[in-house]
C-alpha cells in the first residue's frame, strides 16, 4: 500500500493513457482490428513501464507488495514487445496474448485489493478494476472472433472504464500519501509491545 501511495502518479498516468486509447478506439472510424491490437500493444508497453517504475521506486521505502506491481509491469512490457517485435504474429494470436495478460493483471489486482482492504478505503476500486480486467480477458478468450467492430468496441469500452478507475484510485492514493506525510495515517505499532502501558491515575 505504501508503494501505491508514494507512486500514485503512476496509476494516474496509466489511467490517462488507457482513457486516451479507449477514446481513440471509438473516434477512429476506419481503424482495423490489427491496427487497434498493435495500438493496444503500445498501451500495454507504456503502462507496463509506468508500473515497473512505481515498483522499483517503492521497494526502498519498505513496500511489501512491490513485487506484484513489478510482475504486472513486466507482463505489460512483454505484451508490448511481442506486438511490435513479432511482425508475423496474427491478429488472433495477439488477441489471445492480450486476453491472457488482462486475466493475469486482473488476478494480481484482486489479490492486492484483498490484502489492502484493512489498510485503505479505496481498495474496492482496485478490486473492480481487477474483476473488469478478468471479465475482459475471458470475453476475448471465449469469443475472440465475434466481429472486428465488436472487438474494437469491447477493447475501447474496457480501456475507458479501466482508465477511469485507475485515475480515481491514483488520486485516492495521493490523498492517503498526504495523510501519511502529515502523520494522520494509520499509527505504527511496535510489535514488541504486547501490552499498552497507560500512565498511572493519581486522582
Q: In this predicted model, which residue has the larger pLDDT, 65 or 128?
A: 128
**Among 110, 112, 153, residue whose Cα is nearest residue 131:** 110
Task: Using a cut of 0.75, tell me whether the model's pTM lies above it.
Answer: no
How large a percentage of the chain has pLDDT more than 70?
A: 73
Query: Looking at the predicted structure, is the pLDDT value of residue 72 above 50?
Result: yes
Question: Does the structure show a pLDDT above 60 at 188?
Answer: no
Q: What is the reported pLDDT for 83?
A: 82
Model confidence band, residue 87 (pLDDT cutoffs 50, 70, 90): low
Kindly list the distances between the CA atom of residue 177 and the CA atoms of 51, 132, 143, 188, in Å, as whole numbers in the listed order. 18, 26, 41, 15
Distance, in Å, from the CA atom of 15 to the CA atom of 169, rounded to the nearest integer, reads 9
Q: What's residue 191's pLDDT?
A: 38
Band of pLDDT at residue 26, cut at 50, 70 and 90? confident
Helical pair 66-85 and 91-116, crossing angle rounded to 10 deg: 170
Which residue ranges make up each domain of the chain? 2-181
Band (pLDDT 50/70/90 cuts) for residue 111 is: confident
Higher pLDDT, 57 or 163: 163
Return the closest-CA partner of residue 70 out of 42, 94, 105: 105
Q: What are 27-50's pLDDT values in tens digits?
A: 886 777 778 778 888 888 988 898
pLDDT of residue 55: 81
Phi-psi region of 65 (alpha: psi -120 to 50; beta: other; left: phi over 0): alpha
- Write out pLDDT tens, residues 125-162: 888 999 999 999 998 888 766 666 788 888 889 999 99
pLDDT above 70: residue 82 = yes
Which regions of 67-179 does DSSP assign to beta strands (E)? none
Q: Does domain 2-181 have CATH number 2.60.420?
A: no
The answer to whether 79 and 45 are in contact (CB under 8 A) is yes
CB atoms closer than 10 angstroms to residue 88: 5
Whether pLDDT at 76 is above 50 = yes
Top-confidence residue, 131 or 170: 131
Amino acid at each position: 500500500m505504501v508503494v501505491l501511495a508514494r507512486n500514485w502518479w503512476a496509476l494516474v498516468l496509466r489511467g490517462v493513457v488507457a482513457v486516451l486509447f479507449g477514446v481513440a478506439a471509438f473516434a477512429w472510424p476506419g481503424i482495423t482490428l490489427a491496427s487497434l491490437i498493435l495500438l493496444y500493444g503500445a498501451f500495454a508497453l507504456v503502462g507496463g513501464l509506468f508500473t515497473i517504475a512505481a515498483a522499483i521506486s517503492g521497494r526502498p521505502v519498505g513496500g511489501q507488495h512491490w513485487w506484484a506491481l513489478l510482475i504486472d509491469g513486466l507482463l505489460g512490457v512483454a505484451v508490448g514487445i511481442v506486438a511490435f517485435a513479432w511482425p508475423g504474429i496474427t491478429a488472433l494470436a495477439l488477441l489471445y496474448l492480450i486476453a491472457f495478460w488482462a486475466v493475469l493483471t486482473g488476478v494480481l489486482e484482486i489479490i492486492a485489493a484483498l490484502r489492502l482492504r484493512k489498510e485503505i478505503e479505496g481498495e474496492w476500486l482496485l478490486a473492480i478494476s481487477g474483476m473488469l480486467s478478468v471479465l475482459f480477458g475471458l470475453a476475448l478468450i471465449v469469443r475472440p472472433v465475434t466481429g472486428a467492430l465488436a472487438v474494437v468496441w469491447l477493447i475501447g469500452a474496457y480501456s475507458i472504464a479501466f482508465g477511469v478507475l485507475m485515475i480515481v484510485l491514483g488520486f485516492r492514493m495521493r490523498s492517503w500519501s498526504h495523510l501519511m506525510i502529515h502523520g494522520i495515517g494509520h499509527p505504527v505499532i511496535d510489535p514488541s509491545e504486547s501490552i499498552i502501558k497507560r500512565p498511572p491515575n493519581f486522582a
